[in-house]
Amino acid sequence: MIGALPLSAIPPEDEALRPEIRAFLRDEVGHIPAERRARSWMGFDAAFSRKLAERGWLGLTFPKEYGGAGRGALARYVLVEELLAAGAPVSAHWIADRQSGPLIQRFGTEAQRRFFLPRICRAEAFFCIGMSEPNTGSDLASVTTRAAREEGGWRLNGEKVWTTNAQHSHYMIALVRTSGTPADRQKGLSQVVVDLHAPGVRISPIRDLAGDAHFSAVVFDDVLLPPDALIGEEGSGWMQVNAELAFERSGPERVLSSAVLLDEWSRWLREAGATEAAEALLGRLLAHLAVLRAMSIGVTGRLMAGESPVVEAALVKDLGTEFEQMIPAVVADILARPGLVASGPLMRSLAYTAAMAPSFSLRGGTREILRGMIARGMGLR
């Protein structure tokens, strides 16, 4: 069975960061239209990321010697939940700050740390993640993109797809096969860092159903990688990828993707007045938010204590994305009354969030895959 989550609080020294962040966001984000803020962690703005970097808010958890602030995961929690609640356009640095940087810090060589981490902290190195391929989705061990070792480095061939921000990023960390065949499954997989400006890399943005082109297909055609492109051990790619995914599954971003819509709706209720049904619905959403937030902080607390609550993280993500998807569904229901016209920004935020909501339980591992992990944690498989 899975261990209960503790009620853990954010310590005062981390809470102390909050007022400054909120003041900054009021000035920098407050004027952005709601429907753009509703893009949450999909909103791209490199200049905004540089402003955060100037404040020392990128790589908050990286050690100081690499340009970070040496803070704990709960300090970052405070920063991230405020960014997301405000609908700040964080996507440019998001993956580097959340996933690629910590991965390099943990598994990279000293030289890789010295090269990449300070650049991430200065918003000079944006990253994307190359896991999925045309024939590899949930079954991640089936990747066929291959890096073949040769004199002077590696030769990379294959294709990645759905790569968020590939067209805007400097680097990709790709999961590739470095030995064996797809029949070897998890064995023989490695992670390599690819300079996306290298010859032989072809990036084609893919338009999504909301009209944005936030992800891409990326083809590697005899791309030559230097010997130090390998991150971590050759053949340890599978283990490393899973360590990476545990960190990305329980953060505030798995609870707050529809936060801007919830905020817009509640503002509108304050102005226009609320029926008892609307009050009850709003209370329901607040109750879910409170419980999910406490669960997510509980998982972060356990990560900080050096545990690896992988199953608990999957559990919080599944419940969190269900909540994120519930918001547009129930808000649409209550606003769909003949004779009622809500504000334009609210309706446009609703339209965007409702359209993209199905993706919340796909990205980073689907609902069914997460539930499979929970079932394993419960001893059912």
Partner 1 sequence: MDSLLLRSAEELFSRHASSDAVRAIRAGGSPGALWRELQASGFLDALVPETAGGTGLGLAEALPVLMAAGRFAVPLPVGETMLARAVLAEAGQERPEGTILLGEPFDGGARVPASSAAEWVLLSRNAAPLLRRAEEAQRDDRMASPFGDLLRWPGDAGGDGGPEELHAAGAWAELAAMAGAMERILESTVRHAQERVQFGRPVAAFQAVQQQISVMTEDVFAARMAAQLASVPDGPGIAGLNPLRIAAAKLRVGEAAMRVSAIAHAVHGAMGITEEMDLHLLTGRLQAGRMRFGGEAHWGARLGRHFLRAGDAMDPLAFVRAHLGPMEPETTA
Query: Which residue ranges make up the site for partner 1 (CB under 8 A)?
Result: 1-2, 4-5, 7-10, 81-82, 85, 256, 259, 262-263, 266, 269-270, 274, 276, 278-295, 297-298, 312, 315, 318-319, 368, 370-372, 374-375, 377-381
Give φ, ψ of 149 to 5 degrees. Answer: -70, 135
- Residue 5 interacts with, from ligand FAD, partner 1, none (CB under 5-8 Å by kind): partner 1
- Residue 85 interacts with, from partner 1, ligand FAD, none (CB under 5-8 Å by kind): partner 1
The answer to whether residues 127 and 169 touch, using CB atoms and an 8 Å cutoff, is yes
Residue 148 or 280: the one with the smaller Cβ distance to partner 1 is 280
Distance in Å, CB of 276 to partner 1, minimum: 5
* 98 closest CA partner among 245, 221, 265: 245
User: Which amino acid is present at 299?
Assistant: V
- Distance between CA 357 and CA 351 in Å, rounded? 10
Alpha-carbon distances of 372 from 32, 81, 162, 314, 381, rounded to whole Å: 40, 28, 23, 10, 8
- Distance between CA 70 and CA 63 in Å, rounded? 4
Residue 244 or 312: the one with the smaller Cβ distance to partner 1 is 312
Size of the site for ligand FAD (CB under 6 A): 18
Distance in Å, CB of 341 to ligand FAD, minimum: 31
Among 11, 13, 56, 138, interactor with ligand FAD by CB under 6 A: 138
Q: Restricting to residues 213-252, name those near ligand FAD by CB under 6 A.
A: 215
DSSP 154-215: EEEEEEEEEEETGGG-SEEEEEEE-SS-GGGTTTTEEEEEEETTSTTEEEEEE--TTS---E
- Distance between CA 90 and CA 164 in Å, rounded? 13
- Residue 137 interacts with, from partner 1, ligand FAD, none (CB under 5-8 Å by kind): ligand FAD
The answer to whether residues 319 and 254 touch, using CB atoms and an 8 Å cutoff, is no
The answer to whether residues 73 and 300 touch, using CB atoms and an 8 Å cutoff, is yes
Residue 179 or 359: the one with the smaller Cβ distance to ligand FAD is 359
Among 144, 266, 343, 366, interactor with ligand FAD by CB under 6 A: 366
- Residue 164 interacts with, from partner 1, ligand FAD, none (CB under 5-8 Å by kind): ligand FAD
- Residue 304 interacts with, from ligand FAD, partner 1, none (CB under 5-8 Å by kind): none
Among 326, 330, 359, 374, interactor with ligand FAD by CB under 6 A: 359
Give φ, ψ of 274 to 5 degrees. Answer: -125, 140
Distance in Å, CB of 143 to ligand FAD, minimum: 10
- Distance between CA 256 and CA 294 in Å, rounded? 13
Alpha-carbon distances of 19 from 23, 56, 57, 82, 271, rounded to whole Å: 6, 15, 14, 10, 26
Q: 145-184 mask for ligand FAD (x: CB under 6 A)? A: -----------------xxx--------------------
The contact set with ligand FAD (CB under 6 A) reads 128-132, 137-138, 162-164, 215, 359, 362-363, 365-366, 368-369
